Structure 1
Amino acid sequence: MRRADRLFLLIHALRGRRHAITAQQLAQTLEVSLRTIYRDVADLQRSGVPIEGEAGVGYLLRKGADIPPLMFSPDELEALVVGSRFVRAFGGERLGRGATAALLKIEAVLPAELRARSERTRIFAPQLDNRIESSGLIDALHDAVRQRSVLRVWYLDGQQRASEREIEPLCLTFWGGTWTLGAWCRLRDDFRNFRPDRIVSHAATGEVFEELEQRDLDAYLIAVGAQGLDNG
């Protein structure tokens, strides 16, 4: 995380609070060391940010320094909270961190009544170590999609037949329990959907592909329509 982003999140974590938040809590939220929190707070105080408190006690943003609260309806807020929980549970590690940071920014500027409402939301998405999202595979495939990186994958189809493919990954789709990776398959010379849980191994080839008109994301979406989860 860039230092500028970290300082921004630190200020937002302090905004709108009636009670001090400890350096330990801040460190856990921002995933940094206690020493980093102490240093960042001191730097912000020297730059004029009205932070009160001290190490071992906790920190508050001086009363009157708040920004106006975001105007969310209770239903809108609950949707954001529930959505962030699902992203943290099913979106992979990188998007999970982003969802946590985004929700922190939102809750930091909410009035007390709405913040309490967000804490009472009873729709949960537990993060479990035995799910594919915790393996790092979804993050790796997501990176390949973003970077247009050609992948070499060893894949098992629905009949457990193994094949080696070179693919151009175009998108990831979550079906409420199952992921699919939409891609152009160079072996089949066509679009295919691959289930990450059937990818035995994968490796980047070092090649970056160009999204050509007949085999880009738009063409893929038209081609697959409402096909099944796995046609690899």
Structure 2
Amino acid sequence: MRRADRLFQIIQIFRRSRRPITADAIALELETSKRTIYRDIADLMAQRVPIRGEAGVGYVLDGGYDLPPLMLTPDEIEAAVLGAQWVASRGDPALARAAKDLIGKIGAAVPERLRPYVIEPASGAPPAWKVVPDGLDMARVRAHIHAGRKIRLAYKDEAGADSERIIWPVTIGYRDTTRMLVAWCELRADFRSFRTDRVTDAEFLEDRYPERPAVLRAKWRRQMEEMRAQWRKTEPSPN
């Protein structure tokens, strides 16, 4: 690996990690020596890249630092295009348009030598069949998730029973043909998942829920992790 590429990859490793990362871990990923990583980090700091930390403890990259846009590797381009293809065929209309625009922007911005990775990628997402339409405006749902605002839903469950409830939307899960809206349900006082095609009416309220969106998502993730851990305990062991 060229030194310039290695320096770029070190910054990428820092950018995707929320915790201090050691020179050992970086060296292992980049298949080089720890001494080389120490020297590279010192050079980056000398170039005013805001890296904090020390040898043996770990390093972090201060927030707010960024590199010139679209300095992408071929694998990163393939990953971005594959993900955008999947969203373009399975996302709601607004996200599908955004995914197609994203592919176009990447193709226009990357160097000529990398353009084939966008126009003729080596991998592709299969087309989605019989995607069920949503019963509410998903663009507004995403806006309410970011804003931490409540939604009043009229919902028909799998058995056909109707209910009305106020929810605190957390995240949207995408399946091949349906979408799931994960939310805290005031009626059940717990997290619930709602198939968006079973929503018969929705009112987007101005009321904010008492939790910050990030805190609510963290609580949901912890609950999911606890449920998975419990499931693993009760799963029969293989013979």
| Shorter-chain TM-score tier | 0.5 to 0.7
Kept in 2: contact 1:152–1:205 (CA 8 A):
yes
1:79 is matched with: 79
SS at structure 2 position matched to 1:166: strand
* CA distance in structure 2 between the aligned counterparts of 1:154 and 1:104, rounded to whole angstroms: 38
1:151·1:167 contact (CA, 8 Å) conserved in 2? yes
Q: Secondary structure at the match of 2:170?
A: strand
1:93 corresponding residue in structure 2: 93
Query: Partner amino acid for 2:170?
Result: L
Residue in structure 2 matched with residue 186 of structure 1 by the alignment: 186
Shift of 1:123: 1.7
Instruction: Give the aligned partner of residue 115 of structure 2.
Output: 115
Kept in 1: contact 2:90–2:131 (CA 8 A): no
Q: Secondary structure at the match of 2:169?
A: strand
**Which residue identity does 2:109 align to in structure 1?**
V
Residue 106 (structure 1) shift: 2.1
CA distance in structure 2 between the partners assigned to 1:69 and 1:142 by the alignment: 26
- In 2, the alpha carbon distance for the partners of 1:208 and 1:144 equals 9
Distance 1:130 1:193, change over 3 A: closer
Listed as ranges, the gaps of 5+ residues in structure 1 are 1-67
Partner of 1:102: 102
In structure 2, what is the equivalent of residue 33 of structure 1?
Answer: none
| CA root-mean-square deviation | 3.2
* Corresponding residue number in structure 2 for 1:205: 205
Q: In structure 2, what residue type is equivalent to 1:91?
A: G
Is 219-228 or 121-130 further displaced after alignment?
121-130
Give the corresponding residue for 1:153.
153
Distance in 1 (CA, whole Å) between partners of 2:129 and 2:176 is: 15
Partner of residue 25, structure 2: none
Counterparts of 1:128 and 1:175, CA distance in 2: 11
Q: Superposition pairs for residues 193-232 of structure 1, below 5 Å?
A: 193-211=193-211, 216-225=216-225
TM-score (normalizing by structure 1): 0.57
1:185 Cα offset (Å): 0.7
Q: Which amino acid aligns with 2:124?
A: I
Deviations 1:64-118 (A, max 9, x none): xxxx995544433222211111222223233334333333332123333431242
Task: State the distance in 2 between where 1:206 and 1:111 align.
Answer: 45
The amino acid of 1:200's aligned partner reads T
CA distance in 1, matches of 2:92, 2:143: 11
Single out whichever of 110-119 and 182-191 deviates more from structure 2.
110-119
Distance change in 2, residues 1:77/1:205 (3 Å): closer
Q: Secondary structure at the match of 2:218?
A: helix
Cα distance change on mapping 1:151 and 1:116 into 2, 3 Å: same
In structure 2, relative to structure 1, the CA distance for the partners of 1:97 and 1:219 (3 Å cut) is same
Deviations along 1:129-177, one digit per CA (max 9) or x if unpaired, are 96426x7632232222122221111111221111111111111112343
1:181-232 residue CA offsets vs partner (Å, 9 max, x unmatched): 111111111111111111111112331212169x81111122234879xxxx
Residue 142 of structure 2 aligns with which residue? 142
The verdict on how the C-alpha distance between 1:125 and 1:136 changes in structure 2, with shifts beyond 3 A counting, is farther
Aligned residues: 159
Q: Secondary structure at the match of 1:132?
A: coil
Q: Go from structure 1 to structure 2 and tell me whether the alpha carbon gap of 1:210 and 1:154 turns closer, same or farther (over 3 Å shift).
A: same
Q: Match for residue 162 of structure 2? A: 162
Q: CA 1:136/1:205 → structure 2, altered by over 3 Å: closer, same or farther?
A: closer
Aligned to 1:172: 172
